[in-house]
């Protein structure tokens, strides 16, 4: 019975509302390193017009 969960890929996309909040968190100088890390991950999964 192997570990099939580690082999599956997910195609999750961050909503524009969450991406906007994540962007604001990255720009805010008061955000912690952990918050910025999570925000960066959210933006990496976001589908946007600047994404190449």
The DSSP 8-state label assigned to residue 1 in this structure reads -
Listed by start position, the domains of the chain span 15-46
List phi, psi (to 5°) of 14.
-70, 135
Q: Give the tens place of pLDDT for each residue, 8-40.
A: 667 788 999 999 999 999 999 999 999 999 999
Find the Cα–Cα–Cα–Cα dihedral 12, 18, 24, 29, rounded to 10°: -70
- Residue of higher predicted confidence among 3 and 42: 42
DSSP letters, 26-50, are HH-TT--HHHHHHHHHHHHTB--TT
- Residue of higher predicted confidence among 30 and 52: 30
pTM: 0.67
pLDDT at 7: 60
Residues 13 and 46: beta-carbon distance below 8 Å: yes
């Amino acid at each position: 019975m192997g570990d099939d969960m580690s082999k599956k890929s997910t195609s999750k996309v961050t909503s524009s509302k969450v991406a906007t909040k994540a962007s604001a968190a990255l720009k805010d100088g008061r955000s912690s390193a952990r918050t910025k890390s999570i925000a960066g991950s959210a933006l990496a999964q976001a589908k946007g017009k600047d994404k190449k």
